[in-house]
A = this chain, B = another copy of it.
Amino acid sequence: MLPQKSNEGKAITIYDIAKEAEVSPSTVSRVLTNSARVRPEKRQKIEALIAKYNFKPNALAKGLADTRTRTIGVLAADIRNPYYASLFVACEQAAKEVGYTVVLYNTLGKTENEVELLGKLQEQKVDAIIQLGGRADDLVSSAEYVEIINEIMSSIPVVVTGKLDGTRCHAVRIDSMKSMELLMEHLLGLGHRRIALIGGRRNVLATFEKYQKYKLMLKENMIAYDDGLVAPDGGYDFETGYRQMNEMLAKRTDMTAVIAINDFAAMGVMKSLNEHGIRIPEDMSVVSYDNTYMSEMAMPRLTSIDYNFGEYGRKLIDTSIAVIEGRKKDNLRMVMPAIVVRESSGPCRVGALGKSF
């Protein structure tokens, strides 16, 4: 019943347009890409037909001919994590602004997926690859992995959020040292001296750096490093935060503040504290990293480190394109974190005397 468009089944091509406009395909292409002048009357006729048929040039053919797809592949550890989701959306937005498209694949934390998906991105001839998390965030990466990345980099530039010694790939990183400095300054300023660290694995670069900075700042403030306040390596999830807080509370209760490795872990920490009848922030301050929407939803709302995803995404895309176009860029760019203070952190209520509960 609907008025049938003439693109019955098969999609229409540049040749169809050319025929109807009585010009050669080359001319249609020139109008499409605006790569050369075309006599106004022909241009108009062609543009009218493009509009009439809602013609969309085949991106596959375009990519084949161009050897440039204007597509950037993004490999994320897990898009269900709001941290990566936010960063991905930021990349998507930034890419759009400069006429690029991003395609996303999830590695789900498995190295074999990572390798397989890198291969898929190569097949698809993306112009660059951005790695969000994954193996490239490790403190030291395996020789095999480095070799794989190096082979890919012989044809496609790779940008990571960590670092990859032994490769020439570019990196955009958050200044983890600075982020720990912000939290520690905040807590020390509130009078806290026994500060616990919950969640994370120190074989991840960003976590390692935080740990280092934590120790450094203790020393600078004449506070003895206390290994019992640092939870052993764990994960970055709710369960880890909950379990590690429980375990620590079973051994001691003299800390007055907790730094959780991210919002997920912080939620677990808060649940544990809650179940122990420990009030936040009166009895214990809780702060975290990432400032996802969970920071706002927590009760009380969480003091957290914000990364400015918009800027982060823009820098990732920007760097990728700079490398694609062969413009030289510094191999490492930093994103500056900021602290967002909310109600989960408050003045230390404990004297030098001891615990309050």
Count of identical protomers in the assembly: 2
Q: A60-B64, A124-B59, A151-B54 are in contact. Are A296 and B103 (CB under 8 A)?
A: no
Taken together as a complex, chains A and B put the C-alpha atoms of A80 and B76 apart, in Å, by 13
| A220 interface hit (Cβ, 8 Å) | no
Complex contact A238–B56 (CB within 8 A):
no
For A267, what are the chain B residues with a Cβ–Cβ distance below 8 Å? 297
Taken together as a complex, chains A and B put the C-alpha atoms of A232 and B128 apart, in Å, by 47
Q: Which of B57, B64, B80 contacts A85 (CB 8 A)?
A: B80
Complex contact B59–A123 (CB within 8 A):
yes
Q: Which of B5, B86, B154, B238 contacts A5 (CB 8 A)?
A: B154
Taken together as a complex, chains A and B put the C-alpha atoms of A124 and B101 apart, in Å, by 11
> In residues 118-161 of chain A, which contact B (Cβ within 8 Å)?
119-120, 122-125, 147, 150-151, 154-155
Q: Which of B58, B123, B264, B294 contacts A56 (CB 8 A)?
A: B123
Taken together as a complex, chains A and B put the C-alpha atoms of A198 and B101 apart, in Å, by 38
Q: A7-B154, A297-B271, A299-B274 are in contact. Are A58 and B89 (CB under 8 A)?
A: no
Complex contact A155–B106 (CB within 8 A):
no
Q: How far is the CB of A77 from chain B (nearest CB, A)?
A: 12
| A92 interface hit (Cβ, 8 Å) | yes
Q: How far is the CB of A93 from chain B (nearest CB, A)?
A: 9
For A9, what are the chain B residues with a Cβ–Cβ distance below 8 Å? 154-155
For A271, what are the chain B residues with a Cβ–Cβ distance below 8 Å? 297, 299
Contact with B along A16-57 (1 / 0, CB 8 A): 000000000000000000000000000000000000001011
Contact with B along A217-244 (1 / 0, CB 8 A): 0000000000000000000001000000
| A61 interface hit (Cβ, 8 Å) | yes
Q: A56-B119, A238-B297 are in contact. Are A103 and B104 (CB under 8 A)?
A: yes
| A97 interface hit (Cβ, 8 Å) | no
Q: How far is the CB of A344 from chain B (nearest CB, A)?
A: 14
Taken together as a complex, chains A and B put the C-alpha atoms of A69 and B124 apart, in Å, by 11
Complex contact B124–A11 (CB within 8 A):
no
| A325 interface hit (Cβ, 8 Å) | no
Taken together as a complex, chains A and B put the C-alpha atoms of A99 and B238 apart, in Å, by 34
Complex contact A123–B2 (CB within 8 A):
no
Taken together as a complex, chains A and B put the C-alpha atoms of A11 and B64 apart, in Å, by 13
Q: Which of B7, B59, B86 contacts A155 (CB 8 A)?
A: B7
User: 5 closest Cβ contacts across the A-B interface?
Assistant: A59-B123, A80-B85, A60-B63, A267-B297, A56-B123
* A positions within 8 Å CB-CB of B: 2, 5, 7-11, 54, 56-61, 63-64, 69, 78-80, 82, 85-86, 88-89, 92, 101, 103-106, 108, 119-120, 122-125, 147, 150-151, 154-155, 238, 264, 267-268, 270-271, 274, 293-294, 296-297, 299
